[in-house]
Chain A
Amino acid sequence: MKVKGRKVAIVGMGGTFPNCTDIADFNHKLFDNQSLIREWDQALAFGKNLRSSVSGFITEAEAGLEMVPSAIYEKLPEIYIDKLNRVPDKNLATADVGSIWAMINTLDAIKMAGWSKEETESEQTAVIMASGGPGSSILRAGWDLFFHLGSKSRHAGSHLVDRTMSYREVANVSCLIKNKGISESIISACATGLGNIGHAYRLISYGLQDRAITGGVEATSIEAFAGFDGMMILSRGFSPEESSRPFDKDRNGFVCSFGSGIVALEEYEMAKARGAKILAVIDGYFNNSDGDGDMFYPSFDGQKRLWKGLLAETGIKPDVVKVHGTSTPSGDSIELFGVVSTLGESGYHISAPKSQFGHMLGAAGAVELISSILMLENQKVLPCLNSVNLNPELERFQSNPEWTGTMKPMEAYRDLIPQKSFSKEINHITCLNYGFGGTNSSISISKDY
């Protein structure tokens, strides 16, 4: 249970973002209404075998990394070299690209937080993070070698497991920063990023830890891209910058993207006492499940219960709702109607950062929380890019006799959905993320006063 009066502050952050050099560049491009989505040469190389070819991807070179191929099999990375010398070779040897991003972002977040060596290595410092998928690119090459090329298992090297296991990001970050507190991963599909941050928030607010490095990661992976492409749920038929279009009536799928977002959390009074800059205060976190037995289809009831649980904890009506907003036909409409049925039809705005950088899967919730912190800092609402036309007709499910939500079409809520970034006073933001299997997560953050 929450310890009364114990609050949690966000005191540091770091990230790896598509088509951005650093977090300052990310900040500039987002509020400049730019799209970070590009045509992806790796996808184009598969020709007609892939439906979609746009992504918010990050190349190894863009992240300052160079792959050293195995002497046994050139498709298997033996190790990655950090061209900018941020991570020691010993730690690089056990890491896939996503874990390297997580380590670099962690160092940036700790630097911003201003934690001492003693604080970082304390029994009161946790590492809580994960990605949505496995280390697919390394697994693929390792399995090729063993299953298809008939090689010995040891020829895949001694790091096939530590570079691909579900726990790999935490394992690598914890070995790098040498924390002695709780280290674990929460895996909840595309709610993974926010789920880990929510869990870390609880560890601190329940009095179990004082600090946490937490977030979500999804390394660039053509294997993950191909999996979603095969489900025929990726956006196609638009230019790259127009392909992610949450709420627009012509949206036809999400843009599969990659990235990493790591934040440093700290018990509020401790952070204040040492004069830390408080980027935001976490008011509360709530998560639940749809409970309707449907793997994929979003649940209006599940999302309404999500809101109810969060508001019961915080009692705060947000100035901005940072939605999951994937740009899928059913997801966006259900989510919009869930928001308006909870908050009413005015007094807040909706922001959909996936419109600018796509869906980063297990990293989505974390990178979008960072986007929300930037909204608090800039006092500007990020847009729902490409939400040009909203459906003037009712959605099919609204004519279902069991439907209990609004009987207005999406177009009725045009005023809530900005197409460009704009300034306004922002004190409170609610962030929403959902995942396959009907898992839902929400968090409320506020400006520090």
Chain B
Amino acid sequence: MERQDIINGLVEILRTVRMVDQAKLESVTEETDFIADLNTPSTEMINIVSKIEQKFEVEFDDDDIDDMGSKVKDAVDLILKVKQRS
């Protein structure tokens, strides 16, 4: 799976989260920060992570989530790492 495909998938997820600033989803890059750039409440990250697991058919360990950064590239890296691990 290409990194851009994952980013596109992440944007699809973010479009379903009403607290995310939808106008900013047009210009999401790997450097986009979920919290600082998209105004995502930190509590919503838990829900976003669950949606990522479902969409990309991966299961994160608790440590994976605890250690994940808040940028889009952190999520992409984690998805690829977990896919490789499994």
Contact = CB atoms under 8 A, between A and B. Distances in A.
Interface stretch (B29-37, B39-47, B69-77): B39-47
A93 B18 contact: yes
Nearest to A80: B18
Given A89-B19, A90-B19, A93-B19, A157 B41 contact: no
Q: Is the interface of A mostly helix, strand, loop or mixed?
A: mixed
Chain B interface helix/strand/loop/mixed: helix
Contacts, number: 34
A158 B44 contact: yes
Given A154-B49, A154-B50, A71 B16 contact: yes
A140 interface: no
Contacts of B43: 93, 158-159
B47 A157 contact: yes
Contact of B41 (A68, A93, A155): A93
A72 interface: yes
Contacts of A90: 19, 41
B50 A72 contact: yes
B51 A71 contact: yes
B84 interface: no
A304 B16 CA distance: 57
Interface in A59-116: 68, 71-72, 78-79, 81, 89-90, 92-93
Nearest to A90: B19
A172 to B, nearest CB: 14
Interface in B36-86: 41, 43-47, 49-51, 54
Contacts of A93: 18-19, 41, 43-44
Nearest to B59: A152
B78 to A, nearest CB: 15
A68 B47 CA distance: 13
Contacts of A68: 18
A336 B59 CA distance: 62
A71 B19 CA distance: 16
Contacts of A159: 43
A78 B43 CA distance: 13
Interface string A148-164: 00000011011100000
Contacts of B41: 90, 93
A78 B17 CA distance: 9
Of A79, A89, A93, A158, chain B has the most CB atoms within 10 Å of the CB of A158
A147 to B, nearest CB: 17
Contacts of B47: 78, 157-158
A159 B16 CA distance: 16
B34 to A, nearest CB: 14
Contact of B50 (A81, A89, A157): A157
Contacts of B54: 71-72
Contacts of A79: 18
Given A71-B16, A89-B19, A93-B18, A154 B46 contact: yes
Contacts of B50: 71-72, 154-155, 157
A71 B13 CA distance: 10
Contacts of A158: 43-47
Interface of A: 68, 71-72, 78-79, 81, 89-90, 92-93, 154-155, 157-159
Given A72-B51, A157-B50, 12 more contacts: A68-B18, A71-B16, A72-B50, A78-B47, A154-B46, A154-B49, A154-B50, A155-B50, A157-B46, A157-B47, A158-B44, A159-B43
21 contacts: A68-B18, A71-B16, A71-B50, A71-B51, A71-B54, A72-B54, A79-B18, A81-B18, A90-B19, A90-B41, A93-B18, A93-B19, A93-B41, A93-B44, A154-B49, A154-B50, A155-B50, A157-B46, A158-B44, A158-B45, A158-B47
